[in-house]
């Protein structure tokens, strides 16, 4: 395999503030708007990341240029539309909306921060964006038949005499085109950093991951160096901060905090599986309700990152695993998650928190528990067979329920596997090997559930029309 673990971590694992779909919309709008109103220099950031920013640090640079667009046009693929429709936007006090995400990005987002584009916004920015939306200045075009991630944004200047356009494809932060008045902007700092080169590398990586064997995956674990482990540990800490926030503030649907209260009342058993569910669901509660804390994403999704990391952390705590073993296990989880997502697609009708990140966590937990390579593969097959039918019906507070299910199933799948339970190839979509089972879930997702995706979106749109 020509890609290293550093390549996989660089392309597949990154901090993200808020749900990645509205964040991608905000990023596209911020990129086009800042280009129109501030020029190329606006992309040159003095700091490479805002990940260290804490909740409440919302003061903007006093030199920030005021952007006053006349209007915004969006073109979105069905899955970006579906996943961005109802989820809370960070820093807005629980507000949601595709149009609002775009307006906030256009008026106040910092595109140099990538998937943390909304970190600098203030309450006044949110109010201004809400007024902008209420005047009907954001037009959304749903590209019903488009396959693959696609966010095109056109920002119109005052009097409609100028416009700037951005295009995001393949990855949520992958800006593949920037234009002013229809003319391409060449050699742009952000475009060069995250544009065609990153897209090409990601596409090449996905091709390789589709062919990789489990034995190759296991061999990659020997490549983790101290810098990799430090980066992975940072992601664990980041997602644990979300989990703690969810429990302390009773966020969103309160799945995590409710599970914790049930254990305190003696109604459920506070065991390893329970702790994994509480830890993961609480982080989902916080993230889906718009907590202003970044998540370390995996395979392009913050919720995947929560599921790929936190159940592993919960088990590591139970068995007193060392720091390096925990980080190596989480690294394995990221790799397995990326492998399965390469098959299922970046966005789909299937809940990849369950079958991709859940499988990554199951494999990592089996490894932590001393499982053989065969048992680790069995853990992957167990959870795929268990949760293959879980659908993705958009990002929203109730995603915490699915993260709860995936976390518990991941621990169970691993415990089953290391104790000799492995689903058989005679069962349903299970193949002759973990690799073939992964390919089968990819076929189910990319071919078998296309119409399911359309029906899910239709139900959601009908609900909006009925309530309006």
What are the structural domains, with CATH classification, of the chain?
16-53+69-198 (3.30.1330), 208-462 (1.10.4100.10)
CA 376 from centroid of its chain's CA atoms: 24
User: Three-class SS of residue 431?
Assistant: coil
What is the band of 66 on the pLDDT scale with cuts at 50, 70, 90?
A: confident
pLDDT at res. 200: 52
Q: How far apart are CA 29 and CA 89, in angstroms?
A: 15
pLDDT at res. 170: 85
Query: 43, 185 in Cβ contact below 8 A?
Result: no
Query: 417, 379 in Cβ contact below 8 A?
Result: yes
Residue in 381, 430, 380, 435 with CA at minimum distance from that of residue 216: 435
pLDDT at res. 468: 61
Q: Please measure the distance between the N-terminal and C-terminal CA atoms of the chain and give it in whole angstroms.
A: 52
pLDDT at res. 448: 92
pLDDT (average), residues 190-197? 48
Query: 279, 314 in Cβ contact below 8 A?
Result: yes
pLDDT (average), residues 315-344? 97
Residue in 149, 2, 1 with CA at minimum distance from that of residue 84: 149
Query: 176, 198 in Cβ contact below 8 A?
Result: no
What is the band of 51 on the pLDDT scale with cuts at 50, 70, 90?
A: very low
pLDDT > 90: percent of the chain: 80
Residue in 255, 354, 376, 362 with CA at minimum distance from that of residue 314: 362
As given in the structure block, the two tokens for residue 203 are: 């596409």
Query: 102, 95 in Cβ contact below 8 A?
Result: no
As given in the structure block, the two tokens for residue 82 are: 């579906």
Residue in 301, 261, 252 with CA at minimum distance from that of residue 281: 252
pLDDT at res. 452: 92
What is the band of 346 on the pLDDT scale with cuts at 50, 70, 90?
A: confident
Burial class (CB in 10 A: 0-12, 13-18, 19+), 130: middle
Query: 224, 5 in Cβ contact below 8 A?
Result: yes
- pLDDT tens digits for range 439-450: 999 999 989 998
Burial class (CB in 10 A: 0-12, 13-18, 19+), 446: middle
- pLDDT tens digits for range 73-98: 999 999 999 999 999 999 999 999 99
As given in the structure block, the two tokens for residue 315 are: 């088990």
**pTM given for the model:** 0.90
pLDDT beyond 70 at 154:
yes
Query: 51, 237 in Cβ contact below 8 A?
Result: no
pLDDT (average), residues 100-117? 95
pLDDT at res. 197: 43
pLDDT (average), residues 229-255? 98
Range 194-213 burial, b when 16+ CB lie within 10 A, else e = bbeebbebbeebbebbeebe
pLDDT at res. 40: 53
Considering the chain, what is the average pLDDT of its residues?
Answer: 90
CA dist list (Å): 394 to 96, 122, 391, 458? 13, 27, 9, 12
State the sign of the Cα–Cα–Cα–Cα dihedral 45, 46, 51, 54: negative
pLDDT (average), residues 225-246? 98
**Spatial CB neighbours of 118, under 8 Å, sequence gap ≥ 6:** 17, 18, 23, 26, 89, 90, 91, 104, 105, 109
Q: How far apart are CA 413 and CA 421, in angstroms?
A: 9
Query: 162, 36 in Cβ contact below 8 A?
Result: yes
pLDDT at res. 147: 85
Residue in 342, 339, 380 with CA at minimum distance from that of residue 359: 380
| Radius of gyration of the CA atoms of the chain, in A | 21
Give the number of C-alpha atoms closer than 13 A to the C-alpha of residue 21, restricted to the C-beta side: 27
Across 110-114, 158-162, 312-316, 420-424, least confident range: 158-162
In sequence order, which ranges of 20-77 are alpha helices (DSSP H)? 20-38
Beta-strand runs (E) in 215-306: 294-296
Q: How far apart are CA 171 and CA 164, in angstroms?
A: 21
In sequence order, which ranges of 39-180 are alpha helices (DSSP H)? 78-84, 98-108, 123-134
Query: 415, 362 in Cβ contact below 8 A?
Result: no
Across 37-51, 228-242, 448-462, least confident range: 37-51
What is the band of 191 on the pLDDT scale with cuts at 50, 70, 90?
A: low
pLDDT beyond 60 at 377:
yes
pLDDT beyond 50 at 101:
yes
Question: Which residue in this structure is represented by tokens 């901090």?
Answer: 15
pLDDT > 70: percent of the chain: 91
pLDDT beyond 80 at 42:
no
pLDDT beyond 70 at 62:
no
pLDDT at res. 171: 85
pLDDT (average), residues 384-407? 96
Residue in 276, 297, 294 with CA at minimum distance from that of residue 286: 294
User: Three-class SS of residue 422?
Assistant: coil
């Amino acid at each position: 395999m020509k890609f290293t673990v550093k390549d996989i971590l660089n392309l597949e694992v990154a901090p993200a503030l808020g749900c990645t779909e509205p964040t991608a919309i905000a990023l596209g709008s911020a990129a086009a708007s800042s280009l129109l109103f501030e020029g190329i220099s606006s992309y040159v950031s003095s700091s490479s990341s805002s990940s260290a920013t804490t909740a409440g640090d919302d003061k903007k640079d006093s030199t920030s240029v005021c952007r006053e667009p006349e209007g915004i046009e969006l073109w979105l693929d069905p899955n970006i539309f579906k996943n961005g429709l109802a989820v809370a936007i960070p820093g807005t006090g629980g507000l949601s909306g595709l149009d609002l995400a775009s307006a906030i990005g256009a008026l106040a987002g910092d595109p140099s921060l990538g998937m943390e584009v909304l970190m600098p916004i203030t309450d006044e920015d949110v109010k201004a964006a809400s007024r902008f939306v209420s005047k009907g200045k954001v037009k959304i075009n749903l590209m019903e038949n488009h396959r693959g991630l696609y966010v095109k944004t056109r920002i119109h200047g005052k009097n409609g005499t100028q416009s700037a356009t951005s295009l995001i494809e393949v990855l949520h932060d992958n800006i593949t085109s920037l234009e002013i008045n229809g003319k391409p902007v060449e050699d742009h700092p952000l475009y060069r950093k995250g544009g065609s080169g990153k897209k090409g590398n990601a596409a090449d990586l996905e091709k390789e991951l589709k062919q990789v064997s489990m034995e190759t995956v296991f061999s990659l674990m020997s490549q983790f160096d101290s810098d990799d482990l430090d980066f992975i540990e940072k992601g664990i800490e980041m997602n644990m901060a979300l989990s703690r926030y969810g429990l302390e503030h009773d966020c969103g649907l309160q799945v995590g905090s409710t599970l914790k209260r049930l254990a305190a009342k003696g109604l459920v058993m506070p065991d390893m599986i329970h702790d994994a569910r509480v830890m993961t669901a609480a982080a989902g509660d916080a993230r889906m309700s718009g907590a202003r804390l970044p998540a370390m994403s995996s395979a392009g999704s913050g919720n995947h990152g929560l599921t790929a990391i936190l159940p592993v952390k919960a088990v590591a705590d139970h068995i007193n695993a060392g720091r390096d073993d925990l980080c190596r296990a989480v690294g394995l989880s990221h790799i397995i998650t990326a492998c399965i997502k390469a098959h299922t697609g970046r966005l789909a009708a299937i809940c990849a928190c369950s079958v991709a990140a859940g499988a990554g966590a199951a494999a990592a937990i089996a490894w932590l528990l001393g499982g053989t390579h065969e048992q680790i593969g069995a853990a992957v097959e167990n959870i795929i067979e268990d949760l293959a039918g879980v659908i993705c019906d958009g990002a929203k507070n109730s995603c915490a329920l699915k993260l709860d299910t995936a976390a518990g199933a991941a621990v169970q799948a691993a415990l089953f596997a290391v104790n000799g339970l492995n689903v058989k190839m005679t069962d349903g979509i299970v193949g002759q090997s973990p690799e073939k089972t992964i390919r089968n879930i990819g076929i189910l997702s990319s071919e078998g559930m296309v119409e399911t995706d359309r029906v899910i979106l239709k139900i959601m749109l009908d609900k909006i029309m009925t309530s309006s």
